[in-house]
Amino acid sequence: MAMPKLNQLPPPPPRIGMWEPISTAQPAELDMSRTRELQKFMEYAGLYENGEESLKRQEVLGRLDQIVKAWVKKVTEAKGYNEEMVEEANAVIFTFGSYRLGVNGPGADIDTLCVGPRHVTREEDFFGELQRMLAELPEVQELHPVPDAYVPVMKFKFDGVSIDLLYAKLGLWVIPDDLDLSVPTLLQDLDEKSVLSLNGSRVTDKILHMVPNVQNFQTTLRCIRYWAKQRGVYSNVAGFLGGINWAILVARICQLYPTALPSLLVSRFFKLYSQWRWPNPVLLCPIEGGSLVLPSWDPRRNFRDRNDLMPIITPVYPCTNSSYNVSSSTLCIMQQEFQRGNNICEAMDASVTGWNTLFERFLFFEAYKNYLQIDITARKDVDLMNWQGWVESRLRLLTSKIERDTRGMLQCHPHPGECLDKSKRFHRCYFMGLQRKPGVCAQEGGPFDIRFTVEEFKNMVGMYTFKKPGMWIGVCHIKRNNIPLFVFPGGVRPARPKRVARENGAAAEVDEAGDGKKRKIDESITCHKLRKFDCVLRTKNTPLAVEAKLENSSITGRCPIEDCSQSCLGNEGSFKFSPPVGASSSVSGSSSSTAVVILASDIVPAPSVCQQGCSEEHDRFQDDAQSMGEVQPNFGEGTRVENEGVRQGVATGRDCSNIFRNDGGLEELEPTAPSSNVASASYGAQKPLIKFNFTSLVRANC
């Protein structure tokens, strides 16, 4: 699909939706420029499929339509109907989802709906005869029926193209090829599963009719879908939002800004939904009533609807909540991502950053200290596919059960998708990040015991109707350090990002040593955010130290880890200290005896990164740092302690204060230079040392 061109200032469209638009102003030149940049970024990211792929999808859909027509005739004949009935028997394929909306990318699946006559059933014929016919075709691979899903589906690949096929049985004896699914009377006397299956196509078509500019809607939706996948919040089955949910959210923004270009629509998307007060519903049009007795979303009458946390209502009768899988944990995660997106868009307005920052990938396996690992196995491929479909449809229930049993204090972050260990056959693996919900302190929640919760979940999954020998599920708790390597690209654990201690508003990077000696900082410290640095050694009771020597107006240091052969912070020449203005002229070499006040903010790191030599120490420090909320340093006599508070709490981004505190436990300095006062040290020694330490870590109450 070719990249769309910008629209040339169309006239203001008529009102669409429930409310008047917020703005109908014509796009400015800046909006046009940013939209061109956004489209170039999306093209560079490979979000558009080429013409050859598009043609192949059309051919696959045509072939699938022929197969279902032949299937219906075969079923009709097998059930004893006359020749005329067999001749007129028909089924029609409709598309919905990303393909119908025009936002599918390379390799994306096609959501399809098969509509059949009243005498062709779902259980016996669709998941029976049609499944057998597809299994016999050489073009079909990975056939995976999920009849027990909320919306029953058959998944497979047809000539390499992924297909999700639903089935709806209408009350008609003959299905015309030009069937209009928007007619409400078609829903008469249908079972619930058929109504749900039909709604996918009906909702998609309605959305396209409810937006003022389809092209701008498609570009914006393509952008938001890519962002959601990069940030790990695109998965209906995991408890986040799926394609139709994001489409409704974007369509609402298009209604409110009917003349806006995609760059502005993206910015307004994050601005609006970062402030949205859930569970207020998102609606594209008034909730429709009907003569049919079908339940529509109405929390005033339906008790079940009152429990919806993030209602996004479909625009066709019967209007339902399309985001019923969202849990308290996944809603909280999405709200954080909306706020992050809004902050970045505001920074782009100030020309501080660009589009690439918005689409940075969320590092799921580095974000948490604790994870649940869910393993499933089977004895052969077909059993694994069936078992996998059943388990995936139930994983969201594990999240809700954990929230229930921990009174909402433990937040679960499901990883959107399975992980494959190529060393094991017939095996799939899922992960779920665990952390205390923001605002919950350790003293309030205490340790969480979810063993009974996990066993309850495993017993529920084990009640699978079609369970066969060898179908097994295991759930275990693992630390971040023990995450298996197969989840990482190439099977290699990536280097940890740097953690920077901000002191007096400037960044400072330091090395750590576990030699047990008492150290102290030579000047006042204010920490604003702790980040990971390159090579560290830390446990909760070992000191932190920097060992350095003065050379030609700079201080260079050596890594205190004797067996560290990697290029890491602390190796010779890997960081420098530049004396303050006014003192540098008198510090000309190692023989200088001029007193200099050493500020930690003046230490700057080299760009070198430790790759492997200190991985365990990296992880140990990461564990301590992310659980740390308050540090109690012991300063030597004569030092001055300033406490300006912390703008951002460690790892959570919460607003805390007093992260550093002098608890009065002053210790004597072990001088290595001819000075008794660290705050004004004289560097006459041949290899003077600058040493400081943090002696304890305690959890914050913020």
Burial class (CB in 10 A: 0-12, 13-18, 19+), 496: buried
Burial of 640 (0-12, 13-18, 19+ CB in 10 A): exposed
Per residue in 544-592, pLDDT (tens digit) is 333 333 333 333 343 333 443 333 333 333 333 333 333 333 333 333 3
522 or 288: which carries more pLDDT confidence? 288
Q: What is the CA radius of gyration of the chain?
A: 31
Average pLDDT estimate for 513-517: 37
Contact 120, 126 (CB under 8 A): yes
CA 228, CA 230: separation in Å to the nearest integer?
5
What token pair was written down for 248?
A: 């409704």
> How far is residue 347's CA from residue 339's CA, in Å, rounded to a whole number?
12
> Who's near 346: CB < 8 A, 6+ residues apart?
none
pLDDT (0 to 100) of residue 642? 29
**Helix (H) or strand (E) run with residue 682 in it:** strand 681-682
Q: Tokens representing 544?
A: 């932190």
Instruction: Give the residue, 589 or 303, on which the prediction is more confident.
Output: 303
Distances (CA, A) of 430 to 241, 346, 666: 18, 35, 49
Q: Which residue has the higher pLDDT, 147 or 681?
A: 147
Please tell me whether residue 503 adopts helix, strand or coil conformation. Answer: strand
Position 614 scores a pLDDT of 39
Phi, psi of 504 (to 5 degrees): 55, 35
pLDDT of res. 512? 35
Q: Which residue has the higher pLDDT, 495 or 210?
A: 210
pLDDT digits (tens, 9 = 90+) for 154-167: 999 999 999 999 99
Pairing of strands 161-169, 110-116: parallel
Digit-coded pLDDT (tens) for 4-46: 444 444 455 556 767 789 999 999 999 999 999 999 999 999 9
439-to-137, 294, 436 alpha-carbon distances in Å: 55, 41, 8
In terms of Cα–Cα distance, which of 482, 426, 469, 476 is closest to 454? 476
* Tens-digit pLDDT profile for residues 71-90: 999 999 999 999 999 999 99
- Where would I find the H helices in 355-394? 355-358, 381-392
Tell me phi and psi for residue 80, to 5 degrees.
90, 15
**Which region among 122-126, 275-279, 695-699 has the lowest average model confidence (pLDDT)?**
695-699
What is the distance between the alpha carbons of residues 403 and 414, in angstroms, rounded to a whole number?
A: 13
> What percentage of residues in the chain have a pLDDT greater than 70?
67
Cis bond before residue 607 (omega within 30° of 0): no
Residue 434 backbone dihedrals phi, psi, to 5 degrees: -125, 135
What is the C-alpha separation between 633 and 625, in angstroms, rounded?
15
How much is the average pLDDT of 373-400? Answer: 91
Distances 428 to 270, 461, 549 between C-alpha atoms, Å: 35, 15, 53
Q: Does the pLDDT of residue 290 top 80, yes or no? A: no
The pair of structure tokens assigned to 605 is 């790191």
Instruction: Compute the distance between CA of residue 160 and CA of residue 194 in angstroms, rounded to an integer.
Output: 28
Number of Cβ within a 10 Å radius of residue 443 = 8
The DSSP-derived string for 103-133 is: ---TT--EEEEEEE-TTS-IIIIIIIIIHHH
Q: What integer is the mean pLDDT of 527-548?
A: 29
Q: Which two tokens stand for residue 284?
A: 């594209």
Are the C-beta atoms of residues 110 and 164 closer than 8 Å to each other?
Answer: yes
User: Which residues lie below 8 Å from residue 124, measured CB to CB, with a gap of 6+?
Assistant: none
Task: Spell out the SS3 assignment of 385-451.
Answer: HHHHHHHHCCHHHHHHHHHHHCCCCEEEEECCCCECCCCCCCEEEEEEEEEECCCCCHHHHCCCCCH
pLDDT tens digit string along 585-621? 333 333 332 222 333 333 333 333 333 333 443 344 3
- pLDDT digit string, tens, across residues 436-455: 988 777 666 568 889 999 99
CA distances from 402 to 332, 424, 530, 620 (A): 15, 29, 30, 27
**Residue 14 has what pLDDT?**
57
Contact present, 108 and 242 (Cβ < 8 Å): no
Which H or E run includes 154?
strand 153-158
pLDDT digits (tens, 9 = 90+) for 636-646: 333 232 222 22
Does the structure show a pLDDT above 60 at 477? yes
- Cα separation, 115 vs 109, in Å, equals 19
pLDDT score of 13? 54
With CA atoms as reference, report the closest residue to 444 among 109, 150, 700, 238.
700
CA neighbours closer than 13 Å in the CB half-sphere of residue 581 = 0
Model pLDDT, residue 570: 34
Closest CA to 414 of 352, 354, 457: 457
| Cross-sheet strand order for the sheet of 370-377 | 410-414, 427-436, 370-377, 472-479
pLDDT for position 207: 95
Range 26-35 contact pairs with CB under 8 angstroms and sequence separation of 24 or more:
26/259, 27/259, 27/260, 27/261, 27/264, 31/260, 31/261, 31/263, 31/264, 32/6, 32/261, 34/261, 34/263, 34/264, 34/348, 35/6, 35/219, 35/261, 35/262, 35/263
Residue 12 CA to residue 195 CA, distance in Å, equals 36
Backbone angles phi, psi at 92, to 5 degrees: -130, 140
At residue 110, φ and ψ (nearest 5 deg) are -115, 120
Is it the case that residue 245 has pLDDT exceeding 70? yes
